[in-house]
Amino acid sequence: SELLRVENLHVSVEGKEILKGIDLTINKGEIHVVMGTNGAGKSTLANAIMGNPVYEVTEGSITFDGEDITEEAVNDRAKAGIFMSFQNPIAIPGITVENFIRTSKATVTGENVRALAFKKELKEKMDELSFDASYAQRYVNEGFSGGERKKNEILQMSILNPKLAMLDETDSGLDVDAVRIVSDGVDRFHTKDNAVLIITHHNSILQKLKPDFVHVLINGKIVKTGDASLVADIESKGYDAYKALV
Ligand code: ADP
Ligand code: MG
Ligand code: MG
């Protein structure tokens, strides 16, 4: 059944139009991949779906789980079950990984998250990600390597358990082992009741994850939608053929 419907979405940043009419429907159980040239608007699309106020919707709509959320605030979208992993996760000095994720979970679920049960859940999820438990007491992303920042994003996702997880180049800059850990983490998370939108430049994150649809985004428009074979095709041939479709 339908989870997300983006219709004729136009988005501007600082008065400049970046997305120029995006249509995208994601059903529960599906994995979608968005590829595209640098600066095409991939991160803008994810940010607009998440509700980042820097990204102004000037036309079109976003419907999630049957509700029009085009005007809703980030927090309400998170509560509704949308999650975004950032391309460049920032450090949050003074706040530990454990406190940050526990507070996020309490906010998103609206429930009191009990400390002991949470510690146990966090430990289990960190083990699955080969993420040393000591990192729970470190400040969020402070002094973390690129790979550790991305693991921390996947850790948040697996604990918040959203209905729609958007991963913005979570695999970029990772070594092959880390890509596999991230890919396995997303595979464990993904069920027939949720959906994943993966922004990537690489085939390797898709070893285990089988995308249902691959979208090519160029200059603010989806110029082509196809199956998983598009990823390898683009990796070997580049975007020239797709630029001609703009
Ligand atoms: P992609 O993720 O496909 O590489 P982005 O969505 O990040 O592309 O960027 C698309 C365009 O929008 C770029 O020209 C970029 O400079 C601009 N843009 C994106 N986010 C911002 C922002 N927060 N402030 C200013 N310009 C932005
Ligand atoms: Mg980019
Ligand atoms: Mg980007």
Spacing, Cα 121 to ligand 1 middle (Å): 36
CB-based contacts of 53, cutoff 8 Å, min separation 6? 74
3-state secondary structure the chain: CEEEEEEEEEEEECCEEEEEEEEEEEECCCEEEEEECCCCCHHHHHHHHHCCCCEEEEEEEEEECCEECCCCCHHHHHHHCEEEECCCCCCEEEEEHHHHHHHHHHHHHCCCCCHHHHHHHHHHHHHHCCCCHHHHHCEECCCCCHHHHHHHHHHHHHHHCCCEEEEECCCCCCCHHHHHHHHHHHHHHCCCCCEEEEECCCCHHHCCCCCCEEEEEECCEEEEEECCHHHHHHHHHCCHHHHCCC
Spacing, Cα 40 to ligand 1 middle (Å): 8
Residue 202: which of 190, 214, 212 has the closest Cα? Answer: 214
Domains in the chain, CATH or no CATH each:
2-243 (3.40.50.300)
* pLDDT on residue 245: 86
> Among 44, 58, 200, which residue has the most ligand 1 atoms within 8 Å of its CB, making it the best to mutate?
44
Give the distance from CA 170 to its chain's centroid. 8
- Between CA 111 and CA 78 the distance in angstroms is 14
Residue nearest to atom 22 of ligand 1 (CA): 13
- Between CA 39 and CA 18 the distance in angstroms is 9
Residue nearest to atom 18 of ligand 1 (CA): 13
Residue nearest to atom 24 of ligand 1 (CA): 13
Q: How far apart are the first and last CA of the chain?
A: 31
* Mean pLDDT of each 10-residue bin along the chain, 246 residues long: 98 98 98 97 98 98 98 97 93 96 96 96 96 96 93 96 96 89 94 97 88 97 96 91 88
Ligand number nearest CA of 168 is: 3
Provide residues with CB under 6 Å of ligand 1.
13-14, 18, 36, 38-44, 54
Ligand number nearest CA of 42 is: 1
ipTM rounded to 2 decimals: 0.95
* pLDDT on residue 110: 93
- Between CA 24 and CA 91 the distance in angstroms is 32
Task: Count the alpha carbons within 13 Å of 25 in the hemisphere toward its beta carbon.
Answer: 4
Residue nearest to atom 27 of ligand 1 (CA): 13
* pLDDT on residue 173: 85
* pLDDT on residue 49: 98
* pLDDT on residue 208: 83
